Structure 1
Amino acid sequence: MKFSVLGSTEVVDGGAQLELGGVKQRAILGYLLLHANKVVPTSQILQAMWEGNPPPTARKMVQNAVSGIRRMLAANTDPTTTPLLRTHRPGYQLRVDVQAVDLFVFRSLVRDGRSAISEGAHALGAERLREALSLWRGRALADLVETGICWSELTALEDERLSALEDRLDAELACGRHREITPELEVLTATEPMRERLCLQFMLALYRSGRQADALRVYRRTREALIDGLGLEPGRGLQELQQRILEHDATIQVPALVG
């Protein structure tokens, strides 16, 4: 049995996608998967499901959803995985092999990629991070987000994704792939105009591609977005890069290709 949260909530058993029940049951399953192998207090589930204002029948609704999830897990036909939803005071614990949950596979690959980069193996690191990012099929728990759910865990997960993406782009730059990633960075910076690291990477990729004027335009656009959106000037890193581009600083030209 395989579980997916990096996109719409999905459970697959023997190649077949399972029916997950109503919105509350899907949401409780998704929430427990985000906290897999940890005890999640019932009070925390109630807070997540009803934003601190649960109806009188809320605990019964949680119990019914848990029963439905247990029936689904009992249908597992994969002998290599034994998912189990336990009642564990003060709440519930979803016991599952982390290799069966795409979120934890993603995190493992990200750790491998970052470890490779820290050892100077930038090409291998970029490959591992690309593999990790390929697991995403949209926003985490996208089907639940469409119903109005906006848990802090989902915001943190999106930041994890973007951080892994930025690490991958740094590795690509270190490998001299600035031209290849320029179109991707153009889209990313349009989507995340105030994410300074992406803007810095875009400026550097443009400059290394011989597009100094375009790189400086990206700086001006980012500065305007930060001032308008947050009332802040760009950070020191962006300001220094702008100055170095203006000075044609040779130390930010294409690096010697690294592994």
Structure 2
Amino acid sequence: MLAKDVQVNVLGKLEVAPLAAADPHVTITATKPRQVLVLLAVNAGAAVRTDQLIDELWPSGPPQTVRTIVQTYIYQLRKLFEGNFSSPEGRDLLTTAPDGYVLSVPRENIDLYRFQHLIEDGRAALRDKRFSCAAGMLRECLELWRGPVPADVTSGPRLRGLSVFLEEQRLEAVSLRIEADLAIDRHLEVVGELRSLVATYPLHEVFHLRLMQALHGSGRRGEALYVYRQLRSTLNKELGLEPSREVNRVHQEILVGH
């Protein structure tokens, strides 16, 4: 049975909250139970093996009584859920599986999965040339991002790897949203944001490409060409590379005034 009235947010600070406003938020202060909960949440509905929890919690080597300690953390989480959520939600939230545990929450109640689904939906809308719809979906997606995963929980190897992966997904969502905005003639509106992105990610070609397009679409051809020269110089100096074929194609279009 899934605990459908519980929401878990991991994009930023860990939050466990009821969908019904009458019930309180769950506050988990202990470090390792919080880490256990995040690993269970990012695998919601699927079993996380005890050995996976051990690898995450003690990457340098576990204590001798490690399985008993993990069982204690699970017990502490269950008591918190049972004390804070109306029955049967608290009882059903954290269940035992063969050699592991399951957080029995629908994935649509985990902000991580809503974030990923909105990226996919936005990408599909962009492919179908539904640009306004794509921009809206991707804005909604990015509004879910409150920070890295997890912002206030100690991370072992699994959560650190997930954090890196999700940051790449966030940058892709930003790029896709800007692409959709450019397609609906919001060139001027995105210039400032793109300048900040280019300064923050000087080797990220796509942001330079979008800035070139935004500036050219705003009637600032000279600035667009300068962005290309800057990118080419940076790539050559830092990586010994030339800009990609797509960047060179857009550069040529700007040169000939298309």
**TM-score, normalization: structure 2?**
0.86
1:6 aligns with 2:15: no
After the TM superposition, which residues 129-140 of structure 1 pair with which residues of structure 2 at under 5 Å, given as runs? 129-140=138-149
Partner Cα distance (2:66, 2:240) in 1: 42
Q: Is the CA contact (8 Å cut-off) linking 1:81 and 1:97 kept in structure 2?
A: no
Cα distance change on mapping 1:63 and 1:208 into 2, 3 Å: same
1:205 aligns with 2:214: yes
1:65 aligns with 2:73: yes
1:142 aligns with 2:151: yes
- Letter of the 2:180 counterpart: A
| Residue in structure 2 matched with residue 103 of structure 1 by the alignment | 112
Cα displacement string for residues 197-253 of structure 1 (whole angstroms, at most 9, x for unaligned residues)? 1221111101111222222222233334434444433222122222322222x1xxx
| Residue in structure 1 matched with residue 3 of structure 2 by the alignment | none
| Residue in structure 1 matched with residue 203 of structure 2 by the alignment | 194
1:236 aligns with 2:245: yes
Partner Cα distance (1:150, 1:80) in 2: 26
Partner Cα distance (1:227, 1:220) in 2: 11
Cα distance change on mapping 1:207 and 1:32 into 2, 3 Å: same
Cα distance change on mapping 1:184 and 1:89 into 2, 3 Å: same
Deviation of 1:148 (Å): 10
Cα displacement string for residues 60-98 of structure 1 (whole angstroms, at most 9, x for unaligned residues)? 332222112222222323988985222212322211022
Cα distance change on mapping 1:80 and 1:234 into 2, 3 Å: farther
Q: Percent identity?
A: 36
- Unpaired segments of 5 or more residues in structure 1? 251-259
Cα displacement string for residues 78-122 of structure 1 (whole angstroms, at most 9, x for unaligned residues)? 988985222212322211022221112222322332232222211
| Residue in structure 2 matched with residue 41 of structure 1 by the alignment | 49
Cα displacement string for residues 126-147 of structure 1 (whole angstroms, at most 9, x for unaligned residues)? 1111111111112221112689
**TM-score, normalization: structure 1?**
0.85
Q: Is the CA contact (8 Å cut-off) linking 1:82 and 1:97 kept in structure 2?
A: no
| Residue in structure 2 matched with residue 255 of structure 1 by the alignment | none
Q: Is the CA contact (8 Å cut-off) linking 1:11 and 1:17 kept in structure 2?
A: yes
| Residue in structure 1 matched with residue 59 of structure 2 by the alignment | 51
Q: Is the CA contact (8 Å cut-off) linking 1:7 and 1:139 kept in structure 2?
A: yes
Cα distance change on mapping 1:212 and 1:94 into 2, 3 Å: same
1:127 aligns with 2:127: no
- Letter of the 1:241 counterpart: V
Deviation of 1:30 (Å): 0.9
Q: Is the CA contact (8 Å cut-off) linking 1:2 and 1:101 kept in structure 2?
A: yes
| Residue in structure 2 matched with residue 257 of structure 1 by the alignment | none
Deviation of 1:177 (Å): 0.5
Partner Cα distance (2:40, 2:152) in 1: 16
